[in-house]
Structure 1
Amino acid sequence: MNLNGDIIIIEDDYDDREFLVEIIEEVLKNNGYHNKIVTIADSGRVIDFLKEAQDSPFLIISDINMPGMDGFQLRQQIFEDQDLNDKCIPYIFLTTSGDNVDLMKKAYGLSIQGYFTKPNDYSEYQVLMSDIIRYWKVAKIANRVGYDG
């Protein structure tokens, strides 16, 4: 994981995507973080993007319910691709699906690093994103040990 790498947002809904970008931009600014935000509306383009990226991303935030390839299928492809899996990119689900236990079990069965429900309140959403980003800024990740970037 690259501490200053891109934050990848995979979200097909334009309004949800732009709202999340606004919140994350504010969190980054307030904390002095310099990550770039990359949005991808079509989940079918994510694997190629990750393979072509010069630097490893910092974090992937993905919706679950998307047309074509849903978040579970995307996570499965990343998990099964040894090169992408070795990058140890934290994969977070951010969804409106709520507290659906079956979905949570399925998600964690794919070795995701977090399952969160999209808050309706702006300040709650901001706190959630701030907590997630701060956590991953200090978490110990296998390919980051000794990394000084």
Structure 2
Amino acid sequence: MNIDGPIIVIENDLEDQFLIGETFKNLPYNNEVLFFEDGIKALEFLESTDLKPLLILSDINMPKMNGLEIRENVHNHEHANVKCIPYLFFTTGAHQQLVIDAYSTSIQGFFKKPASFEDFERTIRTIVDYWRECISPAEFL
């Protein structure tokens, strides 16, 4: 796992982008946090960079391309280093069928955005700490 790699956030809501950015400022990580307002821009970045991101946090309900479609594109990407980036949903809505659909795309986690800032921060810390410890197939490429 590239523990120093950037964290990709695919989120079209500016308030949620701000909250996520402020949360990372309070946490002890040096990872750059890169925001993309839609999946098309995120995919263009992943195809054009040599950076190896630590993980992707993605909303589901977005214009142009929803989170499930973005995940499918990442999962089916021809380059293994892109396919191996942990992909997690971080979204406001969660109902049974959506969670089932999300896991059928081989995501690595589904998290509902908490209402309080403390819970929001705790959730982000849990996600990042887990993936900083995890070993990825990309480490052997």
Q: Select 2:46's aligned residue among 26, 34, 50.
A: 50
Q: Name the counterpart of 1:106.
A: 101
**Offset from partner CA, 1:80-133 (integer Å, 9 cap, x none):** 1121565510101001112x1111111111110000000000000000000100
Q: Which consecutive residues of structure 1, in runs of 5 or more, have no partner in the other structure?
A: none
Contact preservation (8 Å) 2:59, 2:90: yes
Q: Name the counterpart of 2:74.
A: 78
Contact preservation (8 Å) 1:47, 1:78: yes
Instruction: After the TM superposition, list the runs of 4 or more consecutive aligned residues in structure 1 that deviate by more than 3 angstroms.
Output: 84-87
The alpha carbon displacement at 1:70 in A equals 0.4
Contact preservation (8 Å) 2:80, 2:138: no
Percent of matched pairs sharing the same residue: 35
| CA distance in 2 between partners of 1:60 and 1:121 (Å) | 22
Contact preservation (8 Å) 2:74, 2:83: no
Q: Select 1:126's aligned residue among 121, 126, 129.
A: 121
Q: Name the counterpart of 1:144.
A: 139
| CA distance in 1 between partners of 2:15 and 2:123 (Å) | 18
Question: TM-score if structure 1 supplies the norm length?
Answer: 0.88
| CA distance in 1 between partners of 2:106 and 2:43 (Å) | 17
Pair 1:19-2:2 in alignment: no
**Offset from partner CA, 1:28-71 (integer Å, 9 cap, x none):** xxx3x321010001221111100111211111000000011000
Question: TM-score if structure 2 supplies the norm length?
Answer: 0.93
Residue identity in the other structure for 1:109: S
